[in-house]
Structure formats: C-alpha cells, structure tokens
Amino acid sequence: MDEVQFDCDWSEYTKELYFEFLHVFYICHPEIKLSVTLRLHQLSDYKDINSLEIDKATLMVYNADRVNSEDTKNSVLDIETIKKYINSANKFPKQLNVALPLFSQGVVFRYSNAMYLLNNVNESSLSDPTNFQQIDESHFKAIRNFYFAGNFLIANDIIRLERVTIPDLNQTAALIASKIKSKEIEITFFHLDSNTQKRFNSYEIQAIANHFR
C-alpha cells in the first residue's frame, strides 16, 4: 500500500481526537502517503492542518449546505455557498485536490421535516403524473401512497430534486481552480457510475477537468 485516505467530517468537538489519530497513523506508518478529505467549511482551519503530517487533501465540493432545511435550494452543489468558503483555499499549506459531484438525489419532506434521501433520482423518474405533481423546477409532490426508489412515500410528501448541470460544474471548476495554488491537482468525480454516464458524456467531464490544467 503506497497511499491511504481517511474521510472524516470533523468539527471543533472532534478535531483534536481525529488529528491525534492521524498523527499516530503517521508515526506507525511513515512509509505510507497520507491523504485526507476536507469539507469546504474546514478550509479555514488551514493553520491547524499545516501541523499535520499529511501529504495532501481532497476538497469535497458538495453537500456544503444543510440538506434537512426547506430553505436550501440544492445541497449537492450551490455556487453561492462555495463562494463563502473557497477563498481560504489559496492559503492551504498542502497539496489540495478536488472532488466534484455528478450525482443527483431527492430529499423527501413530510410535514416540513426531512425524512430521507432518494439516490439517483432525476426529472424523468419524477415525471409520472400518476405518482407526482410538479410544483416548480425542483419540487415534486406525491399524490398517492406508493413505494418509490425503495422507500414508501405517502400522499403530499414533497421531494426536492437536487442535481448538477454542466454549466454549474464548469462555473464551479473555474472558480475553484482560480483559488488553489497547487501545481498538480487530482480531480475526482463522485460518482462516475453507469447512471451518471447516461447524463454526462466523456467530453463534458474532460472539459470540466481541464479547468485545473
């Protein structure tokens, strides 16, 4: 094993314990390159991260907004939310790579409470008029009780459709590329499966990656 990556959405309350774990791992395995994931809100802790014996970090550029809030427009990717955090990227002391979203999801609200997520849903799967009424561009209402995407929906459940578009991804990639000082940037797309490849072709994905070249 040449490299290992640890994924932890640490907070002020868990940061000390997590950083200690990384330090112990480094002491026990100094021959292994150490990589970590990084959320947007963690970028401002670059001074603390500088003390870690990590080789690089991957910035997870998605799920930056509150998924359980009815006020959230799109928790998967929201450019205005990214702008609030990304300026700290040019101060990051380690190699900073980037992970961008390609996935879509539905957030189910019942009586204004977020219940669960529906994976890999899209406009076409919500377009059946016997099951859903479209409220606006991103919101759909269940009009009967039925199973959908492995979950039981009841009448009047609201599904907020969250997805990314090529223009949004290009705008996001250009913004982030202008803030990162790392010379070599590894790009990860989450996640590049058969469902995603039906929505995005290889030329579109390559164009997004080219912003970092």
φ/ψ of 157, rounded to 5, equals -60, 140
Q: What is the mean pLDDT of the chain?
A: 93
Per residue in 86-103, pLDDT (tens digit) is 998 988 888 999 999 999
Of residues 12, 9, 150, 20, the one with CA closest to residue 67: 9
Superfamily of domain 3-103+164-212: Glycosidases (3.20.20.80)
For the chain, give every domain's residue range: 3-103+164-212, 105-162
Q: Which residue blocks in 3-136 are alpha helix, DSSP H? A: 15-28, 46-50, 79-85
Quick check: 46 pLDDT over 80?
Answer: no
Write out the two tokens for 108: 């189910």
Residues 6+ apart with CB under 8 A from 4: 25, 29, 32, 33, 34, 35
The pLDDT confidence band at residue 193, using thresholds 50, 70 and 90, is confident
